[in-house]
């Protein structure tokens, strides 16, 4: 249970990137009032929680309905997470909100659903991770509880960062956010490789 909690916590922290997301959120809501930013932050976090929990519950059912086994999902999920890691390290935006999407969000009065909740908080990487962790915990309620607890911790930290986005942005600046994103990207690449290797090992075994 502790191993599952730790693995899920690290993976989601790296993928969601609370501090980097807070910097983006601060720049996109620079003209909003404190009350508007608070409302958008809370709403986006709740929506992201619902989406990620739904994927953890229904994603496994969909895989079984399509006849996709856990080893195949691990390999595919590992590759997808590796692409996200490369995205973070190279500073590209293939699997997160693109600059155009961020600009469109900044021009919208309420960005809580798009692009904040989806895809910044609940993007392809987070959805894939929740499905993988749920499948690994299948048949073990304690392990699945650990997955949900890790998600709760990450989203709570993310909400705290969003509520204090102006302070986070002032401390880190754009450069600091980029540095953190690249360091976390390297860690995510290692996690993704481990997931893919486990899938290959299971399929060959």
Q: Alpha-carbon distance 9 to 5, whole Å?
A: 6
Would you say residue 56 has pLDDT above 70?
A: yes
For 146-169, how does the pLDDT look when each residue is reduced to its tens digit (9 = 90+)? 999 999 999 999 999 999 999 998
The residue extents of the domains of the chain are 2-204
Would you say residue 121 has pLDDT above 90?
A: yes
Would you say residue 8 has pLDDT above 60?
A: yes
pLDDT band at 93 (very low <50, low <70, confident <90, very high): low
pLDDT band at 52 (very low <50, low <70, confident <90, very high): very high
Average pLDDT value for the chain: 87
Q: What is the CA radius of gyration of the chain?
A: 17
Would you say residue 142 has pLDDT above 90?
A: yes
* CA end-to-end distance (rounded Å), the chain: 24
Helical pair 165-204 and 18-28, crossing angle rounded to 10 deg: 140
Specify whether the CB–CB gap between 39 and 112 falls below 8 A: yes
DSSP state of 94: S
Would you say residue 95 has pLDDT above 60?
A: no
């Amino acid at each position: 249970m502790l191993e599952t909690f730790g693995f899920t916590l690290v993976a989601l922290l790296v993928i969601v990137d609370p501090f980097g997301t807070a910097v983006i959120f601060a720049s996109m809501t620079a003209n909003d009032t404190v009350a508007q930013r608070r409302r958008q932050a809370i709403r986006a976090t709740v929506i992201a929680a619902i989406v990620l929990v739904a994927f953890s519950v229904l994603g496994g059912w969909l895989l079984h309905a399509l006849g996709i086994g856990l080893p195949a999902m691990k390999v595919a999920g590992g590759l997808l997470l590796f692409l996200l890691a490369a995205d973070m390290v190279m500073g590209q935006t293939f699997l997160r909100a693109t600059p155009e999407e961020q600009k469109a969000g900044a021009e919208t009065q309420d960005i809580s659903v798009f692009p904040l909740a989806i895809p910044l908080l609940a993007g392809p990487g987070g959805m894939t991770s929740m499905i993988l962790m749920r499948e690994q915990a299948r048949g073990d309620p304690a392990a699945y509880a650990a997955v949900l607890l890790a998600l709760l911790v990450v989203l709570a930290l993310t909400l705290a960062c969003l509520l204090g986005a102006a302070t986070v942005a002032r401390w880190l600046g754009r450069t600091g956010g980029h540095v953190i994103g690249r360091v976390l990207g390297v860690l995510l690449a290692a996690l993704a490789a481990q997931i893919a290797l486990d899938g290959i090992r299971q399929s060959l075994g």
